[in-house]
Amino acid sequence: MNILTDTLPTSLEINDVEYPIRSDFRTALKTIMAFEDNELTGFEKQSILLGNIYEPLPLVFLQSALDKANWFLNGGQISEEDTEEHQRVYSFSKDANFIFAAFRQTHGINLQTADLHWWEFLALFMDLGSETTFSSLIGLRKRVQDGTASKEERTSARAMGDMFYVPQVDTRTLDEKEKEAEFMRLIGGV
């Protein structure tokens, strides 16, 4: 799929059947923000993914529907399972104001009124100007995480407090969370 030459998808094929999808960037962002929510279980996140992307929801071949929806959210790229842990450097939930301002500053786009396909949004998101607060914040987060930040930058990051911190997504299963909670109860930690 080439964004320059191909029509952006508004449906996904599952087992030789085309299913219409909601391709607006807001729908994709709401779905991704659900995956950032550590209060939701994996099953709940998958249900939200299917319910948000498809209209109507495919009731057969659910694993294929999930795979195709993930492919769509990844901008047409096949998601390779990465065994290496990566620290997050941004959050669509936490950094929403900075992202909104960066789109306005870099591209002159008001996301409140914009009509963008998710893949259009992704292409523009990947090209947010280095002079934006959002890009500066990401750069600082990366330098702090990889240990290359100067003493002044680390001090600045600490001074930002909660604004600087991006919580990691909890990928544990419900069973794993319950076992940890039970362990903490047994040792008197909770």
The mean of the pLDDT values for the chain is: 88
Domain boundaries, the chain: 11-73, 96-163
pLDDT band for 182, please (50, 70, 90 cuts).
confident
Angle at the Cα of 118 (from 67 to 65), degrees rounded to 5? 20
- Residues paired with residue 11 on neighbouring β-strands, in sequence order: 20
Q: Give the C-alpha separation, 70 to 45, whole Å.
A: 12
Per-residue pLDDT of 36-61, as tens digits, reads: 898 888 889 999 999 999 988 887 78
pLDDT of 168 strictly over 80: no
As given in the structure block, the two tokens for residue 145 are: 């995480």
Sequence-ordered list of residues with C-beta below 8 angstroms from that of 28, at least 6 positions apart, any chain: 52, 53, 72, 73, 118, 121
Per-residue pLDDT of 108-158, as tens digits, reads: 999 999 999 999 999 999 999 999 999 999 999 999 999 999 999 999 999
